[in-house]
Amino acid sequence: MADTFSMMINGKKVAPKDTFEVRNPSTGEVVGLAPDASMADLDAAVAAADHAFQTWSKQSDAQLRAACEAVTAKIAENSEELATLITQEQGKPLNGLGSRWELGGAGAWAGYTSTLSLPMKVLQDNNEGKVELHRKPLGVVGSITPWNFPVMIAIWHIMPALRTGNTVVIKPSPFTPLSTIRLVEIMNEALPAGVVNCVTGSDGNDSVGAAMSSHPDIRKIVFTGSCATGEKIMRTAAETMKRLTLEMGGNDAGIVLPDVDPAQIAEGLFWGGFINNGQTCAAMKRLYVHEDVYDDVCEQLVNFAKNIPVGDGMAEESILGPVQNQRQFDKVKRLVDEGKKKGRVLLGGEPGEGLFFPPTIIADLDNDDPLVAEEQFGPALPIIKYSDLDDVIAQANKSENGLGGSVWSKDIEKAKEVALKMECGSVWINKHGAIQPNAPFGGVKKSGIGVEFGEEGLQEYTDVQVVFS
């Protein structure tokens, strides 16, 4: 019999009236029963966070830092339990760039964010007067997260909010709510009641997220997820003029210049495209390769990819797991089937058992083919041959999205020139998707609004107040 998980409201576990099943994508087994929150549950969580804000926001900078460091220590103490729960509900393996790695990232981000602060700035101090810029917490922050990195993204949302004196209500994805519930329980061991609360809702019950976006007592929404949902949130949030950080979908291009050594870049290209089975916002989702090295790059990439063990996430030897859910699986299958009509399948292409889909590489596609033009968010990489650099930059930029991009070359200066012409928030040279806690990360165009991480990310959890004297 699977465990029933509770919501966390005002420092207490609140047993749900209704529940929904959370299944392991590797096996189909029920991992646990998650609460299907009502509007009253959401209101109670927001009220608790609002009440806690009255004292939390008055903590000194040193107290906030110490509390965030205590939370970071709690995450480290419980990391194996959280990693196991992620693997069971998300499917990603314990090993490789899987759930233990995700917990390592969560700890690194929590620790680094604890050390950041936004002290008062003196803008002017002369005989005409003094001007001070203060950064003040907003109030209750509503966090809405996706299913691909449930714990790491929760940390990205919660820690900067706490560090700047805000309180939080988090609503995880219906596909992966359990690890977030446990994360919030663990955080509550180190925090006053009401500072971080968690409510969960079932798939198809978007009403909880939608109600957060319009809730009069939530001052900001930080959202990571699809473009379609981000647009809905922006519309709904307008009425209460909420602050918004929206980290949405990407269709990142990688551009390989003719001077590369294909054997040397194959591993980086593979992980750029297939990290977390391709279910990563800033994964490489289209690969453009110069005609001079096209055949070699295809061959070396396939040689690397064909040896990656795919299997049940709980098996220590697995490096990639299943696709997380049926909806995503169906999308990947549709796009691969489209790709097969015109392209050359170099690896994979046929679905496996259940939700397993092998790493798939399809060459000889064009910019308008669905596997290139749409975000696949799964283990399928299209390769496009090019001959002219300006033309390929234009192709890469011909997208509504602009999250990340990469350039691959031995000539770093040349690669940087290309990077600056790409319309996206981050560009990597000879790697892809390597985010870090001290560098702001966010999308341009339809990939989002605002940034996370670093000082710029922290600022998004504050209002500016200028004092003239």
* Residues 28 to 87 in contact with ligand NAD, rule: CB under 6 A: none
Backbone angles phi, psi at 65, to 5 degrees: -60, -45
- Which residue of the chain is nearest ligand NAD when measured via CB? 209
Q: Verify whether residue 281 is a known catalytic residue.
A: yes
Is residue 22 within 8 A of residue 178, CB to CB? The reply is yes
What are 438's two structure tokens? 């001290």
Residue choice 27, 214, 226, 240 for contact with ligand NAD (CB under 6 A): 226
Binding of ligand NAD at residue 144 (CB under 6 A)?
yes
Residue choice 5, 147, 356, 357 for contact with ligand NAD (CB under 6 A): 147
Q: Which stretch binds ligand NAD (CB under 6 A): 43-51, 73-81, 226-234, 358-366?
A: 226-234
Q: Are strands 12-14 and 7-9 parallel, antiparallel or unpaired?
A: antiparallel
Least distance from ligand NAD to the Cβ atom of residue 443, Å? 6
Least distance from ligand NAD to the Cβ atom of residue 441, Å? 7
User: Given the complex with ligand NAD, which of 107 and 230 has the nearer CB atom?
Assistant: 230
Beta bridge partners of 252: 284
Binding of ligand NAD at residue 181 (CB under 6 A)?
no
Binding pattern for the stretch 425-454 against ligand NAD, x by CB under 6 A and - elsewhere = ------------------x----x------
Binding of ligand NAD at residue 174 (CB under 6 A)?
yes
Least distance from ligand NAD to the Cβ atom of residue 229, Å? 3
Tell me the number of residues near ligand NAD by CB under 6 A.
Answer: 29
Q: Verify whether residue 68 is a known catalytic residue.
A: no
* Residues 330 to 389 in contact with ligand NAD, rule: CB under 6 A: 375, 377
Binding pattern for the stretch 245-284 against ligand NAD, x by CB under 6 A and - elsewhere = --xxxx------------------------------x---
* Residues 277 to 316 in contact with ligand NAD, rule: CB under 6 A: 281
Least distance from ligand NAD to the Cβ atom of residue 63, Å? 30
Binding of ligand NAD at residue 102 (CB under 6 A)?
no
User: Given the complex with ligand NAD, which of 148 and 197 has the nearer CB atom?
Assistant: 148
User: Given the complex with ligand NAD, which of 10 and 145 has the nearer CB atom?
Assistant: 145
Give the catalytic positions in this structure.
247, 281
Using CB under 6 A, list all residues that contact ligand NAD.
144-148, 171-174, 206, 209-210, 213, 224-226, 229, 232-233, 247-250, 281, 375, 377, 403, 443, 448
